[in-house]
Chains A and B, each alone.
Chain A
């Protein structure tokens, strides 16, 4: 069993839809990271959270420490949101354990 599990693996949505990506982890963490990777390789850090909820524009990330579960929500999805979204468990030394990623495709 992987230490960080993401679902779904692939997700296709219509523009405007509300999107949820889930992440479960089995390791102790100092923080949970959500990252976005576009084709070509560039990775952008979206959120780092250790409790509660964070919001940035149309993106919302939540975490339940007791259940070891986090979700990333995208409201009013847009084709430019198409990317791979990666959840990563962060250790105390900065070491990240990555989930396998969710490939999101938003159709116009």
Chain B
């Protein structure tokens, strides 16, 4: 099985900051990498897929990059509604696997 290692597990940031979250797969996943946003009591929301493609309706301040085993989610200009938990997921092979999540908190 592929393991997904996400870091950091939490971070504190201010409105307007640039935030970077990384995700490493235990083997290559050919850019089959998605990022999700979770808020307490709400349905998780797909933000990006194929490592860098923005899901319809997601603001362009969210960007994704990476290849092979290493991937990054960047939020450019953090907004109040962005304080949430972010998780990566590989959907390259069975079973699909998620990172442990990164909680983005207000500094």
Asked whether A and B interact, the reply is no
Q: Which A positions have Cβ atoms within 8 angstroms of B?
A: none
